[in-house]
Structure formats: structure tokens, C-alpha cells
Structure 1
Amino acid sequence: MYPDLLDRIDKNNRDWLKSWGCLVIQLPQAAICLNPDFAHYNGIFAIDCPKREAAPLMQELVEKIKTESGQRPTVWLDRYCKPASLPQILSELGFHLASISYTMYAEPTDVKGRPVADLSSFSIREVENPLELRRWIGVYCQAFGVANQTKETRRWGLAFRKQQLSFFAGVLKETDQPVVTGQLETTHQIGGLYSIGTNPTYRHQGFAFTMTAYLAIAASRFDLKDIYLIAESEDNERFFDRFGFREILQVQNWQQS
């Protein structure tokens, strides 16, 4: 089950990156992602090479990304990357383990029946026009601590125009104030839940999980039997674990010192 599931998740992730302007290139022994506007998305992943070739390959790809983007790349390692000694090789090349993210999987029925926020004062809407998108981006920047809203406007404006990604906003009915964001990617027979975040002023009221449950229901309307998300910390992993998601893959994020 998991190899097929992870293959569809990988394809979905690549489509999500491409939807807002990342260039994803598949090479014989690795894949690279390039985006000059967002340094943390310049990276190397899906590495599969003989041990003796790993160090020179990493050096070559690091220099290529520096040349193309002007940024130092991240290397994303999971248990399917080869050789197994890649962490040691990266350490010798001046990289350090910066963080770990967690790919989590559920079936829509696992999530959509869980308790949600008080919907008498709260509703979720799909973003349908540029004005609503600007408001969505404002909440996204607040939720994720993003200072440069201009870049985010360019990034998500491109994805919105391509119509490859559905945007959703959770709105307080009394004030029409958006307070939580979410996205749904539905290619490759799987639903990817992205950008679930709440304005810090309105956290701990159930809005983020209500958005998660709503996206799970939306995924089931596309006749998708599987959904996934990526938790960026152990705290986020524990949060989503409470609502039916389970970890299926850890990804180490290595950065140059």
C-alpha cells in the first residue's frame, strides 16, 4: 500500500510546487527544485545513487542550484533515499540537520466525523476571485509569520490563475473576517491538504481542525479515498494525530552551515 501511496503523494507534491512557479527537474539520480523567490524551496530530493558517487553528485547539484537560483539549497532525505550513508556524507560536506517534517495519511472518513468548531458563528468558503484571494493571503501571512506579502501575492496569484489548486478560507460570520486558510490539491487520485493555518489571534478555538475536516469532506466529493498533509513539527504531528492522521514518512531537511 505505502509505496503506491507515497508515489502518488510525491507526484501531488511536485504538482503543488509547480502550480506557483517552482521548476522541478528530474535527473537520473536525483530531483531538484528551483525557485529564486523562495530560498527554502531550492532543494535536492529523491536521491538514488551508488555510495561512491554520492559526494560528487551532491557537490555538483549544490553548485548547480547556487548558480541557477543564487541560493544555498536544502537537501530533503527520507528512508527511500540511497545510499543510507547520505547523512554522514552531507555532514562532511558542511550540511547540518535543520528540521524534520512528517507526511501524514488518513482516509476522509477518519477525519470528517470528528468534532469541529462552533459553525453557528463560522463558515468555510472557497476563494473565487482576486479580492478574496488577497484577503486569504493576508491571513496566510499572519498564520505562518510571513513578512513579505508581495512575494506571497505573486506566488499564490500564479497558482490561483492556473486553477490547479483550490483555496479555502474560514470566515467569522458576524464580521466577515477570514481567520483560517487551507488548500486542496486533487491530482493523482489523492487529496493533498496544504497551508492550513490560523491567524494567531484566533488560535485554540478549533478553526484549524474545522478546516482540516472540511477539506477532508471536499476530497471525498472528488471520490478520493486517501488524503495527506505534511506536518512541519512534532507539535503539528501530535495535533493532526488526534484527528485520524498517522505518520507514514519522515523527511529530514539538511541545510548548509
Structure 2
Amino acid sequence: MKNSLIIALDFANKNEVSNFLKAFENEKLFLKVGMELFYQEGPSIIHDLKEQGHKIFLDLKLHDIPNTVKSAMKGLARLNCDLVNVHAAGGFEMMESALEGLEAGTLAGNKRPACIAVTQLTSTSEEQMKNEQLIQVPLEESVLHYAALASKAKLDGVVCSTFEARSIHQSLGSSFLTVAPGIRLETDNAQDQKRVATPEYAKSEGVSAIVVGRSITQSDQPLEKYLLFKHCWEGVLS
């Protein structure tokens, strides 16, 4: 999980995913399946990608009452994903219940999916957080608070921006995962992301894993763009 480069499959259906993956031939990838794709294709898209040997981050950001999240996670655990998530704003009891559901639903002989909590979206600015969520502390303080709550609930880590990762690791330890979206090359368009960073900067701040979407998926040469990100992130070309 650590040092992973995760590609966000920002596609509407299975055909678009298949066309995208043709460029990668036998490359084994870490892929993020989000709400858009999962709600259209359902569990079958997970089964297909796992059969191809890819790792999966199922990014559904569950946020509901504890019992509902527990039951949902029990079902999702059977998909044998590598990583799933919830919204930290759902609270301690909900996050604790999510983990209970995952443990109960994981099939014998399989490893429980890692579970992380979304703190503040990388598309959210401090001004938006204060004006729309009515959270008046600095954004970093909000993220650190949610991360501490997730750690208390025994989750494996959080989704955060690159800019909070160092403080999270200083407070909660290096084994606590920090998964950072909003990763762009200096030449890329930030689009709807607010708190963006380069893969090199994410590495320097101790980020555990980065998520890259449209910079790769919308590229005319996705394999070449992926390898460039991989080089910037890992310092090696495959």
C-alpha cells in the first residue's frame, strides 16, 4: 500500500475502462473505482479488474448511521478490494462500525481491506469549509482532528491533501496511511481541485500513496503519462 500510485478510473462505464486499459497491456496497476463507475456497473467491475490482477481502491466514501455503514462494509468486504473508505465526518462510532463490518465480511483466508477516512476533500478550500460547513478552525486543524478520530477508531489511515501529511505522521506515526488526491504535474491543469501538489512534493512530505486521475485518464498517451508520474513519484522508470 505504501508508495503506491493509484489511478482514478474517471469513466462512466466498463467499455471506457477497457479501452483505457488497453494501453497498459500487462501492467499491473492500483486502480480507484469511484461512485460514477461503481453505481453504473456494480460489483462486476471489481471482479473484472481483480481477475486482471489489479489492486482496487473502492472509493465510495460511506457516510451514514453506524449500523447501515457496518452492513454495507460487510457486503463490500466480499469483493476482496485492497482499500475502501468512509467519511470521517460520520463520527467515531460510524468508523468503528465500518471496521467491524469489514472484519465480519472478509472471507476466510483473505486479508481485510484497508480502511481509510476522508478528512476534507482536496476540492475544498479553507474559505468553503468555514462558510459552508461552519467549521471555524483552520483547515489543517480540522484534518488533523478527523485523522486522530480515525486513528482512535483503529482505521488504517486517511484521505488528505499533501499539505497535511507531514503533520499527520508526526502526530499519529509513519504507519498511519496518508492517501493524497489532487496530484498534478506542474504543467497540468488543476481543474476543480484546490489543494494540489506535484508527486515529488508529495514524496518529500511523506505521503503514503498518491491518487492521479484526469492527468492520466484524459491524456492522449496515458501509458507515457503514467510512467512519467511513476518516475516523479518513485524516482524510477519501469
Q: Where on the TM-score scale, by shorter chain, does this alignment land: which range?
A: 0.3 to 0.5
Greater helix share, structure number: 2
> Which structure is richer in relative contact order (CA contacts within 8 A, separation 6 or more)?
1
Give the alignment's TM-score, normalised by structure 1: 0.31
> By percentage of residues, which structure has more strand?
1
Higher CA-based Rg = 1
After TM superposition, the score normalised by the length of structure 2 is: 0.33
